Amino acid sequence: MFVYADNAATTKMSKAAINAMMPAFEEYYANPSSLHSTGQAAAEKLFNARQSIAQNLNAEAREIYFTSGGSEADNQAILTAAILGKRKGKTHIVSTAFEHHAVLHTLKKLEKEGFEITLLDVHENGILTADEVQDAIRENTCLVTIMFANNEIGTIQPISEIGTVCKEKGVLFHTDAVQAAGHIKIDVKKMNIDMLSLSAHKFHGPKGAGALYCRKGILLQNLIEGGAQERGKRAGTENLPAILGMAQAFDDACRDIDKNAEYLTALRNRLIDGLSKIPHSVLNGDKNNRLPGNVNMCFEGIEGESLLLLLDMKGIQASSGSACTSGSLDPSHVLLAIGLPHEVAHGSLRLSLSEENTMDEVEYIISTVPEIVEYLRNMSPVWEALTKGEIEHVI
């Protein structure tokens, strides 16, 4: 059996999204900035896509800026708040220790430029509270940036409450909603979100396309200079094919959001129950307040990497931590942030499901993982020491 369970890393494109892209290659290929009629036809398609994405977020079309993906949107949002803040002498930023590296590395860069960064700890359940955010905000705070849903453990933050706190305190609030968009309902107005990042390839759209919602009234700062595209805030000929694919995929995902969540939650819960029977295993992150398709577990005494390779041989495509950190032997910063010890954080397995997965596939995973865990434990010196009582079990 072949099972693709790595949808948090990226998703397969939907047929509808592919079909939405094709005319942009063959028919609407003109530059949307061109004044002739084919250019204007492309410009109209571009506007429709912007409007569609805006509507699905309860935003206005002019508040949507197309980018090359989630990373760019994160960078632009954070740098915008930093530049605007600095002009007013505000150089403090509040975030969390378990953000995506697109956020964390941008904050690191700002720290070198003299900004002060507070990275809040998340609790064992992977969720922080709006009160903790409130307490961290100072006189000179220019930005709160907190992800909507975590890409490794899937936990969902109280975004609405955090939005309210930021609004009351007069601090800009950005959320990296790359994992949430298309999977959880988002209303930027109701949730008091000032800036929000999303990425097409996390909801069955194409790679290399994303969007930044930036509330009107915030003076967005450029990362890329050179042209009048995106209201002058992001230069470069628009990637119309990918933008059309993204708009289609987002519209489909938002239309079916309840149905998909219900379907995925059933698969996810079955998977969690099945894998939790493995002795000395733990589910990372809150059991219920997590993305409908996310399962992340640790199995004591084994390396995540070996587990992944053996699962691959059985046709199961999964991930350990995030795709971006694999290849390094460092344990996931997310698992460390929720308080797992180093040795346990090494043995993590992330299974991220999409609507294309089936209950049969889930049963296949449930029957395959325990065998592999046992096999690996039988050759693990750490496991041997654990069973002999030379070291103590942590989970």
Ligand X SMILES: *Cc1c(COP(=O)(O)O)cnc(C)c1O
**Residue ranges in contact with ligand X by CB under 6 A:** 69-71, 74, 100, 102, 147, 151, 176, 178-179, 199, 201-202, 210
In order, the DSSP letters of 310-349 are HHHHTTEE-BSS-TTTTTS-SPPHHHHHTT--HHHHTTEE
CB 76 to ligand X: min, Å: 12
Sheet holding 294-299, edge to edge: 281-283, 294-299, 348-352
Integer Cα distance of 167 and 163 in angstroms? 6
Instruction: Measure the CA angle with vertex 354, ends 353 and 355; round to 5°.
Output: 135
- What is Dmax (Cα atoms) for the chain? 78
Comparing CB distances to ligand X, the nearer of 71 and 332 is 71
142 is catalytic: no
Query: Do 65 and 230 touch, CB atoms closer than 8 A?
Result: yes
Comparing CB distances to ligand X, the nearer of 45 and 100 is 100
CB 379 to ligand X: min, Å: 33
CB 202 to ligand X: min, Å: 6
CB 35 to ligand X: min, Å: 32
From 142, 166, 214, 324, active-site residue: 324
Integer Cα distance of 225 and 14 in angstroms? 33
- Helix crossing, 240-255 with 37-57: angle to 10°? 30
CB 191 to ligand X: min, Å: 17
Comparing CB distances to ligand X, the nearer of 163 and 321 is 321
Q: Cα separations (Å) of 191 from 48, 110, 134? A: 24, 27, 16
Integer Cα distance of 330 and 101 in angstroms? 14
Query: For residue 206, what is the DSSP state?
Result: -
Other CB atoms within 10 A of residue 124 CB: 11
Q: In the block, which residue shows the tokens 């453990």?
A: 153
Comparing CB distances to ligand X, the nearer of 205 and 331 is 205
CB 8 to ligand X: min, Å: 6
Comparing CB distances to ligand X, the nearer of 201 and 346 is 201
Comparing CB distances to ligand X, the nearer of 326 and 387 is 326
Integer Cα distance of 352 and 95 in angstroms? 25
Which active-site residues does the annotation give?
324
